[in-house]
Structure 1
């Protein structure tokens, strides 16, 4: 899968939920590896904030990112629409400290993305692949998020409130292809009993019955309810009649649970990569969502490149016979058993280490350890297959080392290990010169790494 951006700009206009201002937000195409960035065009120096989990500064009633004194809030609906639509790179320009609330859902964002179109870019997507269970919890609220391995990004959301109308609800998204119809139209919701406190905190100045589900489930005096209605500039309501106070019916019977799922997707967009994993959320909220997103961001920073996924039952991209056709190496110096993945920019190879490897006879008889130089040689052979696979008549060429830099060995390699090599081109192939970065893994651990330069020469 390639990275994606928008084909063109699109602009949406509406009221800010918390500021009450009339706001304009414009989504623009961006280059590869740009990610999501938000520019405050209403400020003199037009500061740009990277939409990443570590830049979240508030989660009280929405997700707020900041840089110094500059903040932008209520970004989750727009980011959820981008993320679920498969858009990796986008510059967002906004003329206020928040995005417009629109109808309280992500539906308008999705419609605008579909109308504008999606542009495929030249570089591969970089997924965050969940390999082990990750769990965060908050004993005070009873919230818990569990992230599990899966083949795609899936979410199960369960909500619980002390309310007759939504005591508990659940919603599921098994595929992001369902987002536009099943999740995006779900609106944000608020209880009438919360409105006064929110107003006193200077929030929801732009809230009304058109951009939120308003739930009246605990009786107030008529005077109190009239005061709230007048502040929100909405019709007064009979204090004896409990229920939903909206101008239009619920889009789904479980619309609040679906909206919580929408918020989760918007908050997970802040990890900066598409996820392959299933998220099970019990009583989710922006605070705990951000906690999980920050943990993932730390893992991404610690692991520059995620370990390749190795399915031993999958058909290889190149078997040993094809490798022998491309590489001149033979026993005992052919160090790659098969290739399991290959794109224009990187390749993944496998070497099974057995006790019968000839180098164990002398390195060392009593404690067999694979020499580090042979690990680098195996990386180079893997990289050679990537380069040769791009040529016409590859069997007529050979690759030779010119330079090796930044070599590190982290763990021993012994009989029984399976080495997985991931080698990536770090620059375009020019004049027969290729620069590459190689990493060797055993399971999830990086065993060795190196940067190397090779020359491709036509055989005489």
Structure 2
């Protein structure tokens, strides 16, 4: 799995009809900055409002997943989201001039192809994985639906479906590595049973349905007059079917294509949890309603784990900036370079690491018999990490100085001792204007907040 966040290199557009609305729309994928996430934008509506890909914004689950925010609605988002997750693209704006992404051939493969045409670009921010700490379970006993997320340092999915149908029967599909999505899952098409078509049509759905973008499973004998009605429904001169099989005798791309498409739907719907997952997902008889309910359950688990707001530090992962890269940006040198790594960086926040050892030169004179890191140096370490954030706004940071303008409300809550690993996070309080930045800083040892406060700094060109 990719460690750093990714976006696309350029904007790309595709067009087509929406499955349920029947409205033709143009959909453009636009690059986005780190931390942006996945958002849809209705360019055809006044103010061009955006809709976050968020499980809490789901408003309809009628044969697809529909989200709505600020009066803007986007239908059937799951195939688009699955393509983005499958290619491990974290940040993108999806502009739509209609209410629904094009259904294309009923799978995700054409979204995958256009995104690959755009190319992906690595960004200077680590992916904010949610690593499932313990088993998370969801059940709907009345429909015999079960979904589980188990701890795993990877993202794997297994789906089992059972349609009580002589044509499909019981099927299962698995994805053991997300990199296999394009080849194994992306081309698998949406499907429904013949007996569902009339209900869907009566409920004003599948207006854009066509035998080219959906598999219709026929699990009973169909009379000629029914075939004539179906031909009229799909605007075809004629449709055919064997005694039992697929309407118009469409060939399946895989024997278990329906199960693979259900796995595709699970990937797309769970993207609405908002963070890339590290987990083993097991789903029995899933559907959009269950998938979204489970995504909401994952979101609650994420919120519970994030209550402390402590930046995650995994020493096994490469940093955003190592010490050599830091020295290319900051002018500080021994003994006043007080940070070792930058582990997160976007336009609004930065996190870094300071390893405190007994070899620090300040311990020689600061309570040598009782070594405690001086508070002023805690502020300095925090300021240096904040300086990385400010210097990230200019293309040539090596040509700038950073200066303190003020510190406010600093509190030192616990002593920092040799052997501690200090994790420091700084967040901008407002956009940087005229080279002046104001930010909050918090430092942690483990899950314990050890100091916090507010800093104001400026950046000045060295030749000014």
TM-score range with shorter-chain normalisation?
Answer: 0.7 to 0.9
For structure 1, which runs of at least 5 residues remain unmatched after alignment? none
Counting only pairs closer than 5 Å after superposition, residues 29-178 of structure 1 correspond to structure 2 as 29-32=30-33, 34-43=36-45, 46-67=48-69, 70-85=72-87, 86=89, 88-95=91-98, 97-115=99-117, 117-118=118-119, 120=121, 124-125=124-125, 127-133=127-133, 135-140=136-141, 141-146=144-149, 148-150=151-153, 154-163=155-164, 164=166, 165-176=168-179, 178=180
How large is the Cα RMSD of the aligned pairs? Answer: 4.8
How far residue 137 of structure 1 moved from its aligned partner, in angstroms, is 0.5
Whether 2:10 is the aligned partner of 1:7: answer yes
- Distance in 2 of aligned mates of 1:411 and 1:287: 47
- Measured at CA, do residues 229 and 400 of structure 1 come closer, stay the same or move farther in structure 2, by a change above 3 Å? closer
Q: Select which of 308, 312, 316 maps to 1:308.
A: 312
CA distance in 2, matches of 1:303, 1:112: 38
1:223/1:447 Cα in 2 relative to 1: closer, same or farther (>3 Å)? farther
Gaps of 5+ in 2: none
Separation (CA, whole Å) in 1 of partners of 2:223 and 2:354: 73
When the two structures are aligned, how many residues end up with a matched partner? 436
Higher mean C-alpha displacement, 338-347 vs 105-114: 338-347
For the 8 Å contact 1:424–1:438, the answer to whether it is kept is yes
Q: Over residues 379-407 of structure 1, what are the superposed CA-to-partner deviations in whole Å (9 max), with x where a residue is unaligned?
A: 3455568889987699xx9x764322465
**1:358–1:269: structure 2 CA closer, same or farther, 3 Å change rule?**
same
**Contact 2:156–2:280 under 8 Å retained in 1:** yes
| TM-score, length-scaled by structure 1 | 0.74
Contact 2:40 2:96 in 1 (8 A): yes
Cross-structure match for 1:450 = 453
With over 3 angstroms needed to count, the CA separation of the structure-2 counterparts of 1:126 and 1:416, relative to structure 1, is closer
**1:42 & 1:422 partners in 2: Cα distance?**
39
Spell out the pairing of 1:9-408 with structure 2 (5 A cutoff).
Answer: 9-14=12-17, 16-19=18-21, 21-32=22-33, 34-43=36-45, 46-67=48-69, 70-85=72-87, 86=89, 88-95=91-98, 97-115=99-117, 117-118=118-119, 120=121, 124-125=124-125, 127-133=127-133, 135-140=136-141, 141-146=144-149, 148-150=151-153, 154-163=155-164, 164=166, 165-176=168-179, 178-217=180-219, 219=220, 222=223, 226=227, 229-230=230-231, 232-233=233-234, 235=238, 237=240, 241-245=243-247, 247-273=249-275, 275=276, 277-283=278-284, 284-295=286-297, 297=299, 299=302, 307-311=311-315, 317-318=322-323, 326-329=332-335, 338-339=340-341, 341=343, 346=350, 348-352=352-356, 375-380=378-383, 401-405=404-408, 407=410
Report deviation, 1:257: 2.5
Judge conservation of contact 1:310–1:340 (CA < 8 Å) in 2: no
Q: CA deviation at 1:27?
A: 0.6
Structure-2 change in CA distance of 1:28 and 1:452 (3 Å) = same
Q: 1:169 to 1:306 in 2, by over 3 A?
A: farther
Indicate conservation of the 8 Å contact 1:268/1:293, yes or no: yes
CA distance 1:143–1:314, shift in 2 (3 Å): same
Whether contact under 8 Å (2:27, 2:102) holds in the other structure is no
Counterpart Cα distance in 1 of 2:113 and 2:78: 16
C-alpha displacement of 1:456:
8.1
Change in Cα spacing, 1:304 to 1:125, as seen in structure 2 (3 Å) is farther
Counterpart CA distance in 2 for 1:62 and 1:413 is: 52
- The 1:376/1:326 distance shift into structure 2, 3 A limit, reads closer
CA contact (8 A) 1:104 1:212 kept: yes
